Amino acid sequence: MTRICLVGAGSTVFAQNILGDVLSNPELQHAEIALHDIDGERLKTSGIVARRIGETLGIRDLKVEEHLERRPALKGADFVILMMQVGGYKPATVTDFEVPAKYGLGQTIGDTLGIGGIMRGLRTIPVLFDICRDMEELCPDAIMLQYVNPMAMNCWAIKDQFAGLRTVGLCHSVQETAHDLASVLGEDPATLNYRCGGINHVAFYDRFEKVFPDGSREDLYPRLKQIAQERTYPEYDEVRFDMLRRVGHFVTESSMHFSEYSAWYLKATQPENVEKNKLRIGEYLYRCEDQIEEWHELRRELEGDAPLEVEKSNEYAAGIIQGVVTGAPQQIYGNVPNDGLIANLPDDCIVEVPCMVDRNGVQPTKLGAIPSHLASIMGLSIAVQREVVNAAVTGKREHIYHAAMLDPHTAGELNLDQIWHLVDDLIEAHGNWLPAYH
């Protein structure tokens, strides 16, 4: 019997998506579901959700376990899905925004790069290491499906310290962006064929086309570039279509995310620039508030008699589990060690590339070299990622300073003295959420 463990299962809405996908697959309906979260109230709600999904799908013998302790949940797992947010919305994420704001440094999302992404990585990686140590003991053959941001930093650290564990980082930006572009183009997403490569949140499509019933194909980039020139795209996507105009390729992560991976778009000292690019400082905090309310609404729905709908999401987790368990080939986009997959990115970094999945696990596709200017844009993020991993592995504070000084958005707003003081203030504010650095 396949055992699937969800770590951070109190992320109820996301857990609902993953479990709905998994349990909708007849070959997986007899799986054991082990839920773990340190928040007992949220854990209980997710357990109810899992059982309601089973009821909706007519699964009579669904086995769902709820664990406040991680180790019993991990024991004997075949798949471990990570979806936690270390430190939560309060205090950690709020701190990531409020302390930099005192220096005039505004952020939109702050979970992947920027000073917020750096701090999130530093408090998350030690927890990941604890999970990896538990997995080595309790489920050494399991596949870790790593959904936690900052994706590349987390996967890089795991690769460096636990290379023997089978791990793939998963995001929904590639497939979601493809659906977004299908909508802009007025096309059916099912007719699209595309190839993408790079690093998580900074990957670009090198092929984006429509496939007709007779097998012929249409390159959709000319139409996308025309839309970019005519500015007939949704106003919330100003940044990504501006990038298309300037670099000739479309990036996978949203404009709100991508805006803080460079020094070009998000200038808190230039509010007119922020307004022009349709950005909102503190966007992630607003989203967190909405998600908390969504969770309370979900709880109220569960207490009623309305049937729980099960809809297929665009997450890759269920496809990976199906491919490994049944051998039915699946294609996903995964975050994996580069090791030459993208020739002109560093071998030690984590890249996001097409992967095939079957009984042999996740098998990445070698893409060769990507356009040099795109590799250079990715290099801005890779430099920061490397220093965060160095800090987490060595415990040396100096790497945190270096990560912050190399971060393009932070360096675009603050001088070096301000960056040093900001790092010190953030480390102090995070307190016990961070290990001691020397």
On whether the CB atoms of residues 54 and 46 are closer than 8 A, the answer is no
| Sequence-ordered list of residues with C-beta below 8 angstroms from that of 322, at least 6 positions apart, any chain | 25, 27, 28, 328, 330
DSSP sequence for 213-257: TTS-EEE-HHHHHHHHHHT-S-GGGHHHHHHHHHHSS-BSS-HHH
| Sequence-ordered list of residues with C-beta below 8 angstroms from that of 385, at least 6 positions apart, any chain | 150, 152, 153, 156, 199, 349, 350
Residue ranges of the annotated binding site for substrate are 149
On whether the CB atoms of residues 71 and 139 are closer than 8 A, the answer is no
DSSP sequence for 342-367: BTTS-TTSEEEEEEEEETTEEEEPP-
Q: How many helices (H) and strands (E) does the chain have?
A: 17, 12
The answer to whether 172 is a known catalytic residue is yes
- Packing angle, helices 372-394 and 398-406, rounded to 10: 160
Q: Identify the residue whose tokens are 């440094």.
A: 105
The one catalytic residue in 67, 172, 399, 438 is 172
On whether the CB atoms of residues 28 and 58 are closer than 8 A, the answer is no
Give the H/E segment covering residue 272: helix 271-276
CA 196/CA 175 separation, integer angstroms: 10
| Sequence-ordered list of residues with C-beta below 8 angstroms from that of 399, at least 6 positions apart, any chain | 387, 388, 390, 391
CA 203/CA 171 separation, integer angstroms: 12
Planar angle of CA 316, 208, 199, nearest 5 degrees: 55
Cβ neighbours, 10 Å, residue 237: 21
Catalytic residue ranges: 172
